[in-house]
A and B are shown apart, each in its own frame.
Chain A
C-alpha cells in the first residue's frame, strides 16, 4: 500500500463501509412500517433516500478498494478474530457485484414510483431484498451467506406476489418451494464441509479443506451440494422451471429487479464457493468433476436459448434467455482461468444491467400499448422511438454484438475456454449466440419494420409522433438510457476494468 492510500484508508475506514452498506437498507426498512401507522405513504421517499446514500457509500468503498494494492478489504465484525467470528470481505469480484446491486436497486426504484406496486410494506420488502443481496455479496462466511440468501429469498418471494394477480401468488409459492429446497441443499453442503473441517469462514475453509485432502468423500460431497443448491437458486437447466413463471407474472418493477439481481447474486455466491473456498487446486485435482459442472452449464446455455426461441410472450422469452446466460457464466467460473473468470464477471454485470432494463422496457410497452407478445411489438419504434432504441441496444447486448459488454464477456469466456481446452464450450457459446440473435432480430425487426396495424393502441393516433406513448415517462426513459449507455460503454472499457480487478483475478485463479 502506498502512503497516500494508507492515509486515505485511515480517514475513512473502508471496513465500516462494508458493514454499513449491508446494514443501512435493513435498518431503514423499519421506517415505512412506522409511517403506515400514521397513514403516511413515506415508503418511496424513505427507500429512495436510503438507496441513494447506499449508492454513495458503495462508490466510496469501491474507490478506497481500488486504492489498495491487493484489492482486498476484510472486516472482522465484533472484533472477533477470524475464523471464530464473521468477517465481511470486499475484493475485485464482490465490489463489482455490490456496485451493480446498489445501482440497479436505486434505478429500478425510480421506475416503481410511477408504475408501482406501491404501499409502505412493499418498499420495506424492497429495502430488505437489497440488504440481503448486499449481504450475500460481501460476507466471508459460509453460513452467514445462507442467512442472507434466505433474507433475499423471503423478500423476493413476497415481492413476486405483490401484484394483483393470483397467478403471481402461485408463481411465488412455486418459486419459494424450489428456492427453499435449493437453499437447504446449500445448507447440507455447509453441513458436510463443517463435518469435514469444523470451520465456516471461507478463507479458513480454503486452508482446512486442502489440509483434510481434496480426495475426502465429505469434501467432495460438500462441493456437490453447495453447487447444486446455488444452481437451483440461479435457475440453471433443468431446475429452472420456477423462473419463467416468477419473472413473467411478477409486477414489472419486481421482475426487473429480481431478474437483474437475485440469480446474479446466487451465481456470484457459486463463484465464491468454487474459486475462494474450493480453489483452482480442487478443480485441477478433480478434472472430471470440473468437466461435469462445465457440461451441465453448457446444457443450460443451449436449452435456455432453444426454449427462448419458442416463446411468443416477450417476458418469458427474456426469462428463458437468463437460463442460457447464467449457464454461460457458471461455465466460465468453472473453467477458472483468468480470462474465463473475468469474462464471466463481465457477463454477470452486463447481463444484470441489460436484463433488468429489458424487463422495464417490456413492462413499459405492456402498459402503454398492451404489447405482451412478440407480434404486438410491430411498429413500436415509430410510436416510442427513444424507448425502442434503448430496448434494441440492450437486446443486442444480450446477443453479444460488438462493442457491447455482452460481446466482451463472451469473448473473454470463449478465449478462456479455448485456453483450457474446452473447445466444445466455445462452440456452444457460438451456437447459442446464433440462437439469441435469431429471437432478438425477430423482435427488433418487428419493432422497426413491422406495420402497426395489428395493435389498435399503436395504429390509431393520440399523442404526438415525436414523443413517446403515454406511460413512457421521462423517468423511465432515463432508466433505459442509463442502462443502454452502461451496457454499451462497459464493452470498450473492458480492459480498463480488467486492470482494476487484476489483483483479485490473480488471487482467485
Chain B
C-alpha cells in the first residue's frame, strides 16, 4: 500500500472519494463516516489492486459482451451481461477512486447507452406494426428483412444490455455523490 500523490489534490477536494473507501472508514461507530478526521485521511491505493484491475477489466468486459450476445443459446442474456459490463467500471472506481473514474466516464456516453437501448427496443416494438404485424411480432421482421428471428432476439438482448450497463454505472455514480446541493456544498467547503 502506498500513497499515490497523483490523486491527492483531487481527493482533498472531494469527500465522496473517501466515502468510496468503505473498509478503511469502518471505525467511527455511531458517527457519520465523513467526519473531519476521515476527510483529512490521505487517499489510500493499492498498486497490486490497480494492476490486477487494469489487467482483468478487458476480460470482464469481454465476458459481459459474450454473455449478452450468447443469451439465445446458453444461459445468460442482456441483463446479466449488462451487469457484468457495469461491474468493470465499478471495479475501476473502487481501485482508482470514484472521482477520477467519474471524470473519465462521459455522461453523454452513459445516457447514450440508455437512450440507444430504448431506441433499439422501440424498433423491435414499433417496426412490425408498420408491416401489418402486431407490436413486437419478430416473425414479421424476419419475413420482411430475411434476418432470422434469432438475430432480432439478439438485438433486444443487446438493447437490454446497453440500458442495464448504463443505468447500473449511473446509479453507482449518482448514489456515491449523494444529494445534490448539500453534498456539493460539502465539497465547496473543503476547498
Contacts and interface: CB of A to CB of B under 8 A. Distances in A.
| Chain A directly contacts chain B within the complex, with at least one CB pair under 8 Å | yes
B138 A78 contact: yes
B135 A33 contact: no
Name, among A33, A77, A78, the residue most crowded by chain B CB atoms within 10 Å (CB to CB): A78
B137 A34 contact: no
Interface residues of A, number: 14
Contacts of A15: 134
A76 B140 CA distance: 14
A34 B115 contact: yes
Classify chain B's interface size: 10 to 19
A30 B140 contact: no
B49 interface: no
A454 interface: no
Contacts of B138: 78
A399 interface: no
B115 A33 contact: yes
Contact of B108 (A16, A19, A23, A37): A37
B162 interface: no
A111 interface: no
A76 B111 contact: no
A33 B108 CA distance: 10
B111 A33 contact: yes
A79 interface: yes
Contacts of A34: 111, 115
A37 B135 contact: no
Interface string A6-26: 000000000110010001000
A78 B137 contact: yes
Contacts of A79: 128, 133-134, 137, 139-140
B87 interface: no
B134 A30 contact: no
A27 B139 contact: no
A78 B108 CA distance: 33
Interface string B133-174: 111111110000000000000000000000000000000000
Contact of B134 (A27, A33, A37, A75): A75
B114 A30 contact: yes
Nearest to A27: B122
A30 B118 contact: yes
B136 A77 contact: yes
- The majority secondary structure among interface residues of chain B is helix
Contacts of A77: 134-136
A78 B115 contact: no
Nearest to A78: B136
B79 to A, nearest CB: 14
B186 interface: no
A30 B133 contact: no
B107 interface: yes
A166 to B, nearest CB: 10
B24 interface: no
B50 interface: no
B129 interface: yes
Contact of A19 (B115, B118, B135, B140): B135
Contact of A23 (B111, B134, B135): B135
A79 B140 CA distance: 9
A23 B125 contact: yes
A27 B118 contact: yes
Name, among B126, B129, B134, the residue most crowded by chain A CB atoms within 10 Å (CB to CB): B134
A78 B101 CA distance: 41
A30 B115 contact: yes
Given A23-B125, A27-B118, A78 B107 contact: no
B137 A37 contact: no
Nearest to B135: A19
Contacts of A27: 118, 122
A53 B18 CA distance: 48
Contacts of B125: 19, 23
Contacts of B129: 16, 19
Interface in A54-101: 75-79
A283 to B, nearest CB: 34
Given A19-B129, A34-B111, 16 more contacts: A15-B134, A23-B126, A23-B135, A30-B114, A33-B111, A34-B115, A37-B108, A37-B111, A77-B134, A77-B136, A78-B136, A78-B137, A79-B128, A79-B133, A79-B134, A79-B139
Interface of B: 107-108, 111, 114-115, 118, 122, 125-126, 128-129, 133-140
The 9 lowest CB-CB distance pairs between A and B, nearest first, are: A79-B137, A78-B136, A79-B134, A19-B135, A30-B118, A78-B137, A30-B115, A27-B122, A37-B108
